[in-house]
Amino acid sequence: MCVMSMIMDYHYDKWNPRVHPTTTTGTSPNTPEWIQIPPMGHISQEELDEFHELLERARAYDKAHDQPDCELESKKEKLTKLAKDLGVEITFP
C-alpha cells in the first residue's frame, strides 16, 4: 500500500470513528456491522496542518520509491465530504 493512501485512510478513520459491536456495552455480539460513532465535532487547525504535512511527505516518499499514483479520487472525495460535514475545508495540492 502506498504511504499516501494509508495517510488518507488514517485521517478518515480518525475523524469518522467506528467501533466493533463486540466492544460496546449492551450491543449484541451478533450484529454484523460496525457501529458508526458520530464524527468528531471539530478539526483543529493543528490537525489540518499535520494532515497536509503528512500528505506532502507521503507524496514525496511514494515518488522516491516509484510507487504508483496513490491519490485515489474516491478517497479524496470521501475525505473532502467528511471535512465539509465537519465545517472545514481540506485541499489536495
Backbone phi and psi for residue 91, each to the nearest 5 degrees, phi listed first: -130, 160
18 DSSP β-pair partners: 36
% of the chain surpassing 70 pLDDT = 74
**Residue 90: pLDDT band with limits 50, 70, 90:** confident
Supply the mean pLDDT for the chain. 78
Give pLDDT tens digits for 22-64.
554 555 555 556 565 556 667 888 988 998 899 899 889 998 9
